[in-house]
Amino acid sequence: MNVLISPAGTEIGREIWLSLRHEKNITLFLAGADYDNHARYSDLPYYILPGVNEDDWLPALQLFTEQHHIDYIFPAHDDALLAYAENQTVIAARIIAPSVQTCKLTRYKSKTYDALADVINVPKCYATADDIDSWPVFIKPDRGQGSQGARRADSLAQLGNVFNGSMLVSEYLPGAEFTVDCFSSRNGGLLYCQARTRERVRAGISMGSEFVSLDGIEIIAEKIQQKLQIFGVWFFQVKYAQNGQITLLEVAPRVAGTMALTRVSGANLPLLALYEHSEIPVTLLPQYKHVRISRALSNAFTHNITWSHVYVDYDDTLVIKNTVCVKLVAFLYQCINQGNRCHLVTRHAGDIHQELNTRRLAQIFDTVTHLTCGEKKSSVIKQRDAIFIDDSFTERLDVHQTIGIPTFDVSMLDLLIKE
């Protein structure tokens, strides 16, 4: 199954990639506009496709899906979701999205509120400044996502020129805010519904979150699902109003970036969405409920270093404070997968082979060299297409000056490890 994630450089795209990257029957393709983004630092090729705001995006996408035999396209941005859904009939691959009518409606908060006002609580909205009967009010883009572009206004002076058709002015909801991750099928209705907190929100993304139980939230989810006929993966956001009632903020028929919390707890909703669109029956296992996520900026690197051999020290490098360095072991297995040869070079005071056997590391290395106190590690390295990893600056300096190969300590491994 060939699956395209586009635009792959968003936080949504990254979560879809993390959800599907290890599935044995799925081959992933990452694509998006030509700019520097996190998707370009993965171990997969990044293909250039114009964004949906560019004139030639559709022919480019059609050609790409045909050339790469794409079966499914996972939209990773709200605008892409709507544009792809609107053109499903002329795109050979199936779009992971509900009906185009649902996508159009949920892209606008005003239309979403109008559609759901008779079944759940939605914010009171104001068409003009004269209609406002209570302050403060909340201003946000009608066509937007998360909390991006949103602000509070406490008076008429702070309101500004917002009644221009693109902004929505509504009652201010002072209570706690939550995201509710959902999954539903065409035939089975709502199959999954789990609320989580929204904490440390940055650019509309929850940087901290944990599962919570909200009274009546499943009933709200069922009413939304039935009214909008959403199937697959989706979520909605709610907030407590002044009167204590849970009130809708928005509905989005797509993956959420912080859905990682749901994934690691046992519900891989992007994968289930693929199954739903493939008409494969799905079953969910019980979840681990006491899980919390904290998100932060992550680092990814590119480099031009190549090697066929990796030489590694033992004490304070492979084993640090009497504990195996898991990151280094992961890197060594990455090297093995690439066909590199791994070598251990050490002055360990003891039986190194017994140590390796005890720690179950013996099979990693092609060669093990146990040096005496006077021997230099640089004397062991014969290849020029090699790298050297050691905690000792003196050892690294000697190898660099003598052999001229790249040298690293454990803190530098992030440069070499592929995602």
The pLDDT mean for the chain works out to 95
Residue that the structure tokens 């649902």 belong to: 102
Q: Is residue 162 predicted with pLDDT exceeding 90? A: no
Q: What is the pLDDT of residues 64-85, one digit of tens each?
A: 999 999 999 999 999 999 999 9
Query: Does pLDDT of 415 surpass 80?
Result: yes
> Over 80: is that where the pLDDT of 146 sits?
no
**pLDDT at residue 287, as a whole number:** 83
Torsion sign across C-alpha atoms 55, 61, 62, 67: positive
pLDDT band at 298 (very low <50, low <70, confident <90, very high): confident
Which among 396, 47, 223 has a CA at the least distance from the CA of 412? Answer: 396
pLDDT digits (tens, 9 = 90+) for 229-260: 999 999 999 999 999 999 999 999 999 989 99
* Residue type for position 362: A
**DSSP 3-state of 244:** coil
Q: For residue 241, which of 153, 115, 123, 146 has the smallest C-alpha distance?
A: 123
Q: Which tokens in the block code for residue 180? A: 């509710």
CA distance 121 to 24: 43
Q: What is the pLDDT of residues 354-409, one digit of tens each?
A: 999 999 999 999 999 999 888 999 999 999 999 999 999 999 999 999 999 999 99
Q: What is the average per-residue pLDDT within 257-283?
A: 94
pLDDT at 131 over 80: yes
pLDDT for residue 205: 85
Mean pLDDT in residue range 280-294: 88
Instruction: Give CA torsion, residues 339, 345, 346, 350, to 10 deg.
Output: 70
Beta strands in 18-76 (DSSP E): 27-32, 46-48, 72-75
pLDDT tens for each residue of 299-327 = 899 999 999 999 999 999 999 999 999 99
What does pTM read for this prediction? 0.90
Q: Give yes or no for residue 51 having a pLDDT over 90.
A: yes
Contacts of 392 (CB under 8 A, 6+ apart): 313, 316
- pLDDT band for position 333 (50/70/90)? very high
Domains and CATH numbers, the chain: 2-96 (3.40.50.20), 105-111+174-294 (3.30.470.20), 124-171 (no CATH), 309-415 (3.40.50.1000)
Which pLDDT does position 206 carry in this prediction? 87
- Angle among Cα 159, 164, 168 to the nearest 5 degrees reads 65
State yes or no: pLDDT of 351 exceeds 90.
yes
Q: Which of 112-121, 143-152, 272-281 is least confident?
A: 143-152
pLDDT at 408: 96
pLDDT digits (tens, 9 = 90+) for 193-230: 999 999 998 877 888 999 999 999 999 999 999 999 99
pLDDT of residue 147: 67
Q: Count CB neighbours of 69 within 10 A.
A: 11
